[in-house]
């Protein structure tokens, strides 16, 4: 197929944690996922805590930190969100970051960017509602979404240790499988979808 774009691994993955808390359990989960990732995936964090509040009056002259944030997304092959649930949605800090990434109109850094997501909460539904909201937002942002494994993790104290290792065997197996499937998903999107049209 002449217009099929094939991007061989490794793939660079920008990992965006929805929590800005130093003690974040979602950052712990993100670090564990990075450690479990197959070799094809080169993961690094893209931080959101330096961003001011999005203001469309700044569309013509984005502040440097917002430009750097957008560039980090643009230069990643794929994005992995690891987010808490706040009041049955995503945290405002994460929505703010996504708003920066999506603008100015026509320059949406998330468009066509393969996106996976995961999250953890002490609560029983493990960020399921927040992730449904995030999926709706990513859909509007034209980001191809991984759907075949949903990672709603009920956090238990000590579930991820200080070496970023998952201490519960069944959870480790589940998360390892997720990262393998995420790798497959990224490969599928980057192989099949023509990138320049
Ligand atoms: C929460 N928390 C929470 N948990 C949940 O499962 N569903 C929810 O809707 C909410 N809402 C909520 C709102 C706000 C403002 C806070 C601060 C917390 C609890 C939340 O899951 C818990 O604080 C996690 O530790 C947050 O994740 P990080 O920041 O530790 O990654």
Please report, for the domain that includes residue 114, its CATH number.
3.40.50.360
Tokens in use for 49? 């805590």
Q: Which atom of ligand 1 is nearest to the CA of 124?
A: 6
Question: What's the CA gap between 186 and 114, in Å, rounded?
Answer: 6
Decide: 20 in ligand 1 pocket, CB within 6 A: no
Ligand 1 atom 1: the closest Cα is on which residue?
A: 86
Q: What is the DSSP letter of 112?
A: T
Residue, of 77 and 148, whose pLDDT is higher: 77
CA of 86 to the centre of ligand 1 (A): 5
The answer to whether position 74 is within a domain reads: yes
Backbone angles phi, psi at 36, to 5 degrees: -85, -5
Residue 133 lies in a domain: yes
> Does residue 1 surpass a pLDDT of 50?
no
For residue 22, tell me if it sits in a domain.
Answer: yes
> What separation in Å is there between the alpha carbon of 89 and the centre of ligand 1?
10
Give me the mean pLDDT over the 8-21 stretch.
96
Instruction: Look up tokens 């469309």; give the residue.
Output: 56
Asked if the structure places residue 195 within a domain, the reply is no
4 within domain boundaries? no
For the cut 60, the answer to whether the pLDDT of residue 193 exceeds it is no
157: preceding bond cis by omega (within 30 degrees): no
- Say yes or no: CB of residue 25 within 6 Å of ligand 1: yes
How many domains is the chain built from? 1
Q: What SS3 class is residue 20?
A: coil
Q: Is there a domain that residue 3 lies in?
A: no
**Per-residue pLDDT for 69 more than 70?**
yes
Note whether residue 46 is domain-resident. Answer: yes
Average pLDDT over all residues of the chain: 95
State yes or no: pLDDT of 4 exceeds 70.
Answer: no
Whether 25 maps to a domain, the answer reads yes
Q: What is the pLDDT of residues 111-128, one digit of tens each?
A: 999 999 999 999 999 999
**What's the CA dihedral at 30, 35, 37, 43 to 10 degrees?**
60
Residue 157 in contact with ligand 1 by CB distance below 6 A = no
Give the domain range for residue 85.
9-190
Strands 41-45 and 11-17: parallel
Q: CA torsion sign, 55 to 56 to 61 to 66?
A: positive
């Amino acid at each position: 197929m002449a217009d099929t774009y094939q991007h061989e691994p490794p793939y660079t993955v920008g990992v965006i944690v929805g929590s800005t808390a130093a003690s974040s359990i979602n950052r712990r989960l993100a670090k564990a996922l990075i450690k479990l990732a197959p070799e094809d995936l080169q993961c690094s964090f893209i931080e959101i805590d330096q961003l001011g509040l999005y203001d469309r009056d700044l569309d013509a002259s984005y502040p440097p930190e917002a430009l750097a944030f957008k560039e980090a997304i643009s230069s990643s092959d794929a994005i992995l969100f690891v987010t808490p649930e706040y009041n049955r949605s995503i945290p405002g800090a994460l929505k703010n970051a996504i708003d920066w990434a999506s603008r100015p109109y026509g320059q949406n850094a998330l468009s066509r960017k393969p996106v996976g997501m995961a999250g953890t909460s002490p609560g029983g539904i493990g960020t399921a509602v927040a992730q449904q909201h995030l999926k709706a937002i990513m859909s509007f942002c034209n980001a191809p979404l991984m759907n075949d494994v949903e990672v709603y993790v009920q956090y238990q104290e000590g579930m991820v240790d200080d070496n970023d290792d998952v201490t519960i065997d069944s959870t480790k197996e589940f998360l390892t499988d997720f990262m393998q499937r995420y790798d497959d998903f990224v490969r599928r999107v980057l192989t099949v979808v023509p990138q320049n049209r």
